[in-house]
Amino acid sequence: MEKIIQFLLEERIIVSIVVILCAIVLSRFVCFFLKNIINRGKKYDKKRKTIVGLITKVIRFFIYAIAIMMILNNFGIDTNGILASLGIAGVILGLALQDTAQDLMGGITIILDNYYAIGDYIKINGFEGYVVDISLKSTKVKAVTGEIYIFANRNMSSVENYSQSEAGVLLEVPTAYEEKTKDVEKALNEILNEAKNDKVILDKSSYLGVNFLDASSVNYAIIVYCESGNRWSVKREMLKRIKEKYDEKGLKIPYNQIEVHNGKEI
């Protein structure tokens, strides 16, 4: 026990512990300070959140790397030789790990060119979801159903980003042929006007007119604009309003029916 205590009280052990603690405190302080500087007087939007998260990861890496070098020096290990060896190893690994290098360059490009940011709703390779994390190597995307896919940044050159512009929700409303067009148009315009308390951008939303003459219905169309993140909730709310308005006005939405004639003339 005494030998353990003596070992822990050695100067190099105490110095190493102090270096580790200082590295932890310094990394947290610098990251906190940087976050406040970048967002001072500005709204903490998704792009700044992404940039701050990436920069803090890089800063922590360098602080801990310097701390490790200091600890090795404290134990009398020649770090110059290690750094030289790491340089040579880095060149070899760079040639061997070209995909990883492409991931790193892809991560930098994603941030600088603003392909997407944390919180954006994107579509990549047929998979849709919200960006929950971006690192220099990969991007994590979470579907609305909960599953998380991890994509290498080198594969993110072709991405559909639904969050960088307003979303237009096109709604087709099938209506019975016997309903008068002017009554249907009046009802649909009323629905749009009454949507002012929802997450709808009214000055862009509009009634479009007759969109299709189906076998058993006239399909009228309206387009509703909203923030991209609200498109599903807005669509559900508008469909509910359409059903309620049609019930109120006595307008008929046709559905498939089967008529059975029991030997009687039609």
pLDDT in tens, 217-252: 999 999 988 877 777 888 898 999 999 999 999 999
Query: What is the pLDDT at residue 173?
Result: 92
Rg (CA), the chain: 31
Residue 2: pLDDT band (50, 70, 90) is: low
Q: What are phi and psi of 264, to 5 degrees?
A: -95, 150
For residue 119, pLDDT over 60 is answered with: yes
The pLDDT, as a whole number, for residue 220 is 94
| Token reading at 182 | 């002017």
Given a cut of 80, whether residue 41 has pLDDT beyond it is no
d(CA 189, CA 242): 10
Is 10 buried (19+), middle (13-18) or exposed (0-12) by CB count in 10 A? exposed
Which fold does the domain 110-161 belong to in CATH? SH3 type barrels. (2.30.30)
The yes-or-no verdict on residue 110 having pLDDT over 80 is no
Q: Which residue has the higher pLDDT, 39 or 102?
A: 102
Q: How is the chain split into domains, by residue range?
A: 2-96, 110-161, 167-249
Q: Rounded to whole angstroms, how far apart are CA atoms 4 and 194?
A: 77
More confidently predicted of 154 and 241? 241
152 neighbors 137 (Cβ within 8 angstroms): yes
Top mean pLDDT of 27-31, 52-56, 163-167, 232-236 is at 232-236
DSSP string, 5-42: HHHHTSHHHHHHHHHHHHHHHHHHHHHHHHHHHHTTTS
Residue 103 has pLDDT above 50, yes or no: yes
What is the reported pLDDT for 244? 93
CATH code of the domain made up of 167-249? 3.30.70.100
Q: Is 263 left (phi over 0), alpha (psi -120 to 50) or beta?
A: left
Closest CA to 116 of 63, 157, 167: 157
- Mean pLDDT score across all residues of the chain: 77
CATH number assigned to the domain with residue range 2-96, chosen from the 4 options 3.40.190.150, 1.10.287.1260, 1.10.1200.10, 2.40.50.140: 1.10.287.1260
Return the structure tokens found at 56. Answer: 């803090």
Collapsing DSSP to helix, strand or coil, 210 comes out as: strand
Q: What is the pTM of this model?
A: 0.49
Read off the pLDDT band of 203 (50, 70, 90).
confident
Asked if residues 231 and 167 have their Cβ atoms less than 8 Å apart, the reply is: yes
Q: Please give the share of the chain, as a percent, with pLDDT higher than 70.
A: 69
Query: Which position has the token pair 């340089």?
Result: 87
Tell me what percent of the chain is helix, strand and coil, each rounded to the nearest 5: 50, 20, 30
Judge whether residue 122 has pLDDT over 90.
no
| pLDDT exceeds cutoff 50 at 44 | no
Range name among 102-106, 169-173, 210-214, 238-242 with the lowest pLDDT average: 102-106
pLDDT at 11 over 90: no
More confident residue, 228 or 9: 228
**Amino acid at the residue 107:** G
